Amino acid sequence: MIKIENVEVGGLKPALRGMRNPKNSWARSDSGLGCTHRKNWNKEEDGLLLCENCSHTYDDHVICAGHQQYCMGPNDHDLATRLRNAGTDHRKYLRMIVVWLDVVAPLYWWKEADTYKVGTVTNSCSTMHKVTDKEFTLNDFSYEHLMQYSMEILDDAIIQLNFWRKIYLNGGQVNNYDGTDRIFEPKDKDAWWQLIQLLPSSYNQRRTLMLNYEVLANIYKSRRGHKLDEWRAFCNWIETLPYSELITGKEVAA
């Protein structure tokens, strides 16, 4: 299971400006504020490029449905595509287009996502500090592929986690298998260790993640056919980003 929320994309304008620095070709830039809908640059009427949604010309920078954003013009898109295809040395502008998002995913996915260190920043909910804040429920875990017997094991693990959470918070007596008893005081660290070391890797954690289009291009190339559902879903989300073809290398449909 993976959930992606609160997505923001920024830096397109300075990225395109910097993209033209090597050739001093700023005068050829044709990006600007416009409607949020993708321009259909193959559709022409009297030689003018039209917005496929509102049919106004691109140069009008018309606002469709009350929305406005910085839109990439045909000249800039053509150059951006050629630089993208030329390789990482030439497409440094991709590193300047930044994406922020909240991701809820299991620890086993985060363990792989942590491979991408360069150009990324994460702030996570703290398992160490906040794991005892609420009772554990099935919805705290990714379990969509578990069969009946495995679900029973997860249910037992949740029961154990909630038992040790109660002992950690309130203290209490625990009966050992050897017939001895132990009295735990509240906030006993040994009880806390039972939680931390019993916690399954299917436990879902929320992190706020900052990365850029170049990192996403590396992720898309390496992970779109991965065996984990979470990676394939993440790559599907990448395809929904503005000008995602610069990440994926796919051609824009005419």
What ranges in the chain are assigned the alpha helix state H?
12-19, 74-86, 107-113, 127-130, 148-170, 189-198, 213-223, 229-238, 245-248
What's the confidence (pLDDT) of residue 49? 53
For all residues of the chain together, what is the average pLDDT? 88
**What is the spatial distance between Cα 16 and Cα 18, in angstroms, rounded to a whole number?**
5
Cβ(93)–Cβ(15) below 8 Å: yes
Decide: helix, strand or coil at residue 44.
Answer: strand
**What is the rounded average pLDDT of the residues 166-187?**
92
- Of the pLDDT bands very low, low, confident and very high (cuts 50, 70, 90), residue 145 is very high
Say yes or no to pLDDT of 9 above 90.
yes
Say yes or no to pLDDT of 254 above 50.
no
100: nearest Cα among 13, 210, 242: 210
**What is the rounded average pLDDT of the residues 20-40?**
78
**What is the rounded average pLDDT of the residues 24-31?**
93
Could you give the count of Cα atoms lying within 13 Å of 40 in the half-sphere of its Cβ? 13
The percent of residues above 90 in pLDDT, for the chain, comes to 74
